Structure 1
Amino acid sequence: MRHTFAAFRDAWSLSRPFWSGEHRWAARGLLTVVVVLNLALVAMNVLLTYWQRGFYNALETKDWNSFISLLVLGGPTEDFGFIPGFCLVAAIYILVAVYALYLKQALQIRWRRALTESFTRRWLDHRAYYRLAVQDRATDNPDQRIADDARLFVDSTLTLGLGLMRAVVTLLSFIFVLWSLSGEMTLFGVSIPGYLVWVALAYSALGTWLTHLIGRKLITLNFVQERVEADFRYALVRVRDNVEGIALHRGEAEEKDALEGRFGAVIGNWWGIMRATKQLTFFTAGFSQVATIFPFLVVAPNYFAGRIPLGGLIQTSSAFGSVQEAMSWLVNNYEQVAAWRATVQRLTGFDAAVAAAEAHAADGPAVQVEPREDLAASGLTVTLPDARPLLEDVSLSVAPGEAVLVTGASGSGKSTLFRALAGIWPFGRGRIAVPAGRRVLFLPQRPYLPLGSLRRSLCYPSSEAAFDDGVVRAALADVGLGHLAPRLDQVESWDRVLSGGEQQRLAFARALLQRPDLLFLDEATASLDPVAEETLYRLLRERLPGSAIISIAHRPAVAAFHDRILRLQERQLVPA
């Protein structure tokens, strides 16, 4: 019971922003209409039990006129007064059912949009995505949680919620019908009024308890299945995105073994789900089959004793079945509930991880924007996520137009220093003062090329419309990529189309367009030959004379394009 309450609490914490947010009235109004339509379906089901009673009584008495009127427009009956005809009820039922589904789907897409946008915004804000990637290894596959789990949560919550509501309303509605039809039964000298109600409740309660006892392991198994499926899909994407590296290393066999291992986890857990589902299905299928005939077995003695006509038998068994089915809602939906709980757990875990990242957004070296000319760092200490120090009490100042080269052994912390100066490294302390109103651009060793056209990759992070076509083409020509100008608006996976050297040239063209005041280059020419490297550095110094440039590089020739050289050694930054 404690876990059930926790699941509902977590589900409400995920749902509350949508139902109390900016678009709450539209959402609540749409939900109200959907609820009313579903209640109308329940009401028509109650009405149909009385129709069945009149219809089967007409069959039993061979009353042709009542038979025809009850099929078409309806007519009076001995037990209920006027009953609408089946054709009329069916037409209204179909109309209500169609719009109940249509409007539920409209509510689903609104809710999914709000939930997805909220998760995406929070994941990207304050660079929570970055902190999760470098520190929180437990929050696996955020892409799947945003794309798939959010969709499943919305769909399952609405479907199960409306289904549970209909079951409760059906139960309350048909209990009164069944009570009025039951009469009394004497058992061991005790008169039991409405005995059919108590039999239905007892039967359903026993089935619900046994279903939970048998199927509860499915909750954990479904949670694990979501994770291993996502891990396998991510591994496939990694292979797709690194085809050249795998081919060059002849790594097909190792990749095949790794993929088979991840898929083996999928299969292994799926077998667990199959075994648990088999055990549950043995019970639920048997329960459902018995439920088909059980109402007739309970009501048959009154029918054969002549106390009720055929229509009464049909109505009573129908009402009994409706009460039993409503009470057995969990029995019939246990697998869906188990999957829903697993989805809630994954989304709640992701939500908690993002919230923790938001709470620690101010951790790490403090970046302050000040009215000054130079970039300055003081008392800068940078650590790894496990608190091991890479740099201790480092000070640095770079003036406008100055070029500084940072060198040091591999693994000494040069790239992490850049991340700290960029304000994205959350581990450490100290103070970094950035000139106000200055544009900053980082060119890593492997440039980021977003999805879309070549023009978008070139103009990133600005929009494609930020630069004139002639300026864009000139920047491509300046870095030696003029032959790509005719393909500027062609949409490709450019990170796979372009070689490593071409991608780095593209990044330099991006710098020429953006004209940053502070430009950081982290091995930004590592894939280029020395001649191309010198050409691009000379181009930067000529075209961006007022930009402060801070570089990480190992080739000695690069030093000629810098005013100072600093070496990172023994956790300190010293002149070389």
Structure 2
Amino acid sequence: MSDPTSVPVSKKSWFKRFWSLAKPFWVSDEKWPGIGLLVTIIALTLGVVYLNVQFNTWYREFYDAMQNLDQPAFWRLIKKFGVLAVIYIFVVVYQQYLQQLLQIMWRRWMTAHMVDRWLANRTYYLWQLEQQITDNPDQRISQDINMFVATTLSLTLGLLREVVMLTSFIAILWQVSGPITLWGVTIPGYMVWAALVYSIVGTWVIHKIGKPLIGLTYTQQRFEADFRFHLVRLRENSESVALSRGEKAENRNLLARFQEIYLNFREIMDRQKQLVFTRAFYNQFAVIFPFLVAAPRFFAKEIKLGGLMQISNAFDKVKDSFSFFVDAYLVIAEFAAVILRLDGFLDSVQAAQERAPHTTDNIHRNDFAAAGLTLKNVSLALPNQQPLLDGINFHVKPGESLLVSGPSGIGKSTLFRAISGIWPYWNGKVEVPAGMHGMVLPQKPYMPVDTLRAALTYPEVPTDYTEEEVLGLMTLCKLEHLAKRLDDIENWAQVLSPGEQQRVAFVRVFLHKPDWLFLDEATSALDEGMQKQVYEALKLRLPGLTVISIAHRASLRDLHQREYDVLAKAEKTL
């Protein structure tokens, strides 16, 4: 079993990983609105620092007035505080608002970019073929992109704020703290050095304690995503599980996966307990530390109460700036895991595309439509290179109907995938007619979670078809009982029976009007009467349609002109 505190090894540096994810947005078409927002946010951030400097000066003046019992100065400073506070509130509110606006703009662009990469060249399908669905791409695109953008902005802007804050307050602290003599050595601006030493020691200790959290967080997110995936899978296959009485098996499986979450989280708890304990001590001791260091000068009457409070406030700001890494360690640990996952996602996309052999390289399109479909010495294999079929040769003219037969599992469905251009593991040559408008109907058609109208017209836009067209075809395919639910949004794969789903697929055929139709057990859930009615409607409504079917029913032989046996590699007229 691998060490959960470890992370995947890569030759790329952390900055290269981060920059490969962040850079594309800032060189895209949306860069100028993003840059404009970023510049405005930076200006507001600098405004916050300026106001903090003003508050620091106010501390000295206010406590000096209190020590001197100066009532007029007291009320003047109260008014000054009110003005500063109002300005500060407005600056902070709009800084956060514009930062959130930039965040959602960047996330929208990055999501579209990642989805394009995932869908390009059917990478999502290649992952499934090669069993590369690890770590759940849905989490990468939904959760990790959001975390990456939000954390990038918060950390970079936070770092900028702390650097400017440090620059401003280190000068103040140097000036107001003055020198101190220890063992005959005079140390100028000693509070600055005290803050630096205090922060360096705290940062080093917290880093040593918190470093394993990067690997633990990465592993936790992977376990969580895997657990969610299996919960969704159970929900989507609830009927099959129920019919198999598989509740106990599913319970064992889910609890075993949650046990991984539990054990890893306990390690995170133990590590975070040590980290929080150290941070709490670090922050609490920092409250009295400046008073302890400045007390000798105060009691020697070298500084007043206002000066002491100004030193305390300035020390706190300098300490916070020096301690940015300490305070943000948990966030940085999670951010590092997010970068690893997103970078791994893009690497997997590229690797899947590079590993896959051709999909359409050997598909030749003839110059004239009447040429038909020709397969020459086509052989198929599985992703692990295990052979499926070889020596497949047949020719289908436009308007003909061919039944492809053979034993289950021999590779008939895979043959359709190769012809359609989505199966990469094949050799030989496929010739298709010019301008071929083909459509493949699998045994279980895809049902989007959308309106029934959208499911019927998928993948086209529902507005491309009139309601009369849709309703008429629903009646033809015996779906008229669903006419009143056209605009209902449902998970139709769970709502409709297998037979209804196959009839929905045929509605799509009649709407899209292909000239080549590949039916892969597409009528297996229909009774033979409905099956015959659908095939006859195809001939009547789509004259010139070429139909190539895969099926095991003997009755389908009467609905086709020829049959090709992929096992015997023989063809006969029906």
User: TM-score, structure 1 length as denominator?
Assistant: 0.93
2:505 to 501, 504, 507: 507
| C-alpha distance in 1 between matches for 2:460 and 2:421 | 20
- 1:575 and 2:571 aligned: yes
Is 1:97–2:92 an aligned residue pair?
Answer: yes
Look up the match of 1:182. 177
2:556 aligned partner:
558
1:151 matched to 2:146? The reply is yes
Q: Which of 361, 368, 371 is the matching residue for 1:372?
A: 368
Equivalent-residue separation in structure 1 for 2:350 and 2:452 (angstroms): 36
Give the conservation status (yes or no) of the 8 Å contact 2:392–2:566. no
Look up the match of 1:80. none
Distance 1:476 1:38, change over 3 A: same
Cα deviation 1:106-144 (Å, max 9, x = unaligned): 001101100111111221121111112221526431111
CA RMSD of aligned residues (A): 1.9
Report the equivalent of 2:447.
449
**How far did 1:535 drift?**
2.5
Deviation at 1:406, TM superposition (A): 1.2
Residue range with higher mean Cα deviation, 529-538 or 212-221:
529-538
Report if the CA contact (8 A) 2:357-2:425 is conserved.
no
- Cα gap change, 1:12/1:94 in structure 2, threshold over 3 Å: closer, same or farther? same
Instruction: Give, as a single letter, the amino acid of the residue that structure 2 aligns with 1:408.
Output: G
Q: CA deviation at 1:47?
A: 1.6
Secondary structure class of the residue paired with 2:328: helix
Verify the 8 A CA contact 1:153 1:344 in the aligned structure 2.
yes
Code of the aligned partner of 2:255: E
Could you say if the C-alpha distance between residues 3 and 467 of structure 1 is closer, same or farther in structure 2, counting changes exceeding 3 Å? closer
Deviation sequence 1:3-56 (CA, Å, 0-9, x none): 999223212111111111101111011001111111111111112111100110
Partners of 1:369 and 1:433 within 8 A in 2:
yes
Question: Which of residues 315, 320, 324 is equivalent to 1:325?
Answer: 320
The CA distance in 2 between the partners of 1:348 and 1:554, in whole Å, is: 46
Q: What residue number does 1:439 align with? A: 437
CA distance in 2, matches of 1:107, 1:505: 46
Q: Can you list the C-alpha shifts for 1:244-287, whole angstroms capped at 9, x where unaligned?
A: 11221111221122221222222222111111111111111111
187-196 vs 208-217, greater mean Cα deviation = 187-196
1:64 aligns with 2:62: no
**TM-score by structure 2 length?**
0.94
- Residues 365 and 380 of structure 1 are in contact (CA less than 8 Å); yes or no, is this contact kept in structure 2? no
State the alpha-carbon separation in 2 of the partners of residues 5 and 100 from structure 1: 34
Matched, 1:221 2:228: no
Quick one: distance in 2 between partners of 1:162 and 1:456?
Answer: 44
Gap regions ≥5 residues in structure 1: 73-84
Give distance in 1, aligned partners of 2:384 and 2:357: 18
Contact 1:447 1:507 in 2 (8 A): yes
Q: What's the offset of the Cα at 1:395?
A: 3.1
Moved over 6 A (4+): 2-5
Matched AA of 1:6: S
The equivalent residue for 2:400 is 402
Alpha carbons 1:364, 1:427 under 8 Å: kept: yes
Q: Report if aligned partners of 1:139, 1:349 keep a CA contact under 8 Å in 2.
A: no
Matched, 1:539 2:537: yes
SS of 1:400's equivalent? coil
In the alignment, which residue of structure 2 is the partner of 1:210?
A: 205
Offset from partner CA, 1:382-434 (integer Å, 9 cap, x none): 22111222223433322111111111122211111111111011223333333
Query: Which digits, 9 at most, give the CA deviation of each residue in 1:417-468, with x for residues without a partner?
Result: 1111110112233333332322211110001111212121111122112222
- For residues 99 and 376 of structure 2, the distance between their equivalents in structure 1, rounded to whole angstroms, comes to 58
Change over 3 Å in CA distance of 1:131–1:298 after alignment to 2: same
Give distance in 2, aligned partners of 1:342 and 1:157: 13
SS at match of 2:13: helix
**Any residues of structure 2 matched to 1:10-29 within 5 Å, and which?**
10-29=17-36
Match of 1:111 in 2: 106
- Determine if contact 1:27/1:107 at 8 Å carries over to the other structure: yes
Aligned partners of 1:404 and 1:564 also within 8 Å: yes
Residue 391 of structure 2 contacts residue 569 of structure 2 at CA under 8 Å; is this kept in 1? Answer: no
Alpha-carbon displacement from aligned partner over 1:316-370 (angstroms, at most 9, x marks no partner): 1111111111111111111111111111111111111122344467723523444
Instruction: Spell out the pairing of 1:470-481 with structure 2 (5 A cutoff).
Output: 470-481=468-479
Q: CA deviation at 1:96?
A: 0.2
Of stretches 474-483 and 494-503 in structure 1, the one that deviates more from structure 2 is: 474-483
Percent of aligned pairs with the same amino acid:
45
Structure 2 residue 165 is the aligned partner of structure 1 residue 167: no
Equivalent residue for 1:49, pick from 52, 56, 66? 56
Check 1:138–1:279 CA distance in 2 against 1; reply closer, same or farther (3 A cut): farther
Q: 1:6 is matched with which residue? A: 13
- Once the 2 structures are TM-superposed, how far is the Cα of residue 175 of structure 1 from its aligned partner? 1.1
User: Which one-letter code corresponds to 1:46 in the other structure?
Assistant: V
CA–CA separation in structure 1 for the residues paired with 2:151 and 2:101: 14
User: Structure 2: how far apart are the matches of 1:433 and 1:503?
Assistant: 32
Contact preservation (8 Å) 1:365, 1:381: no
Q: Displacement, 1:186?
A: 2.9
CA contact (8 A) 1:365 1:428 kept: no
* Aligned mates of 1:520, 1:258 — CA distance in 2: 38
* CA distance 1:343–1:545, shift in 2 (3 Å): same
Q: Which moved more, 1:540-549 or 1:89-98?
A: 540-549
- Cα distance, 1:536 vs. partner? 2.1
Deviation (angstroms), 1:178: 1.2
Q: For 1:564 and 1:482, how far apart are their aligned partners in 2?
A: 34
Q: Helix, strand or coil: the match of 1:412?
A: coil
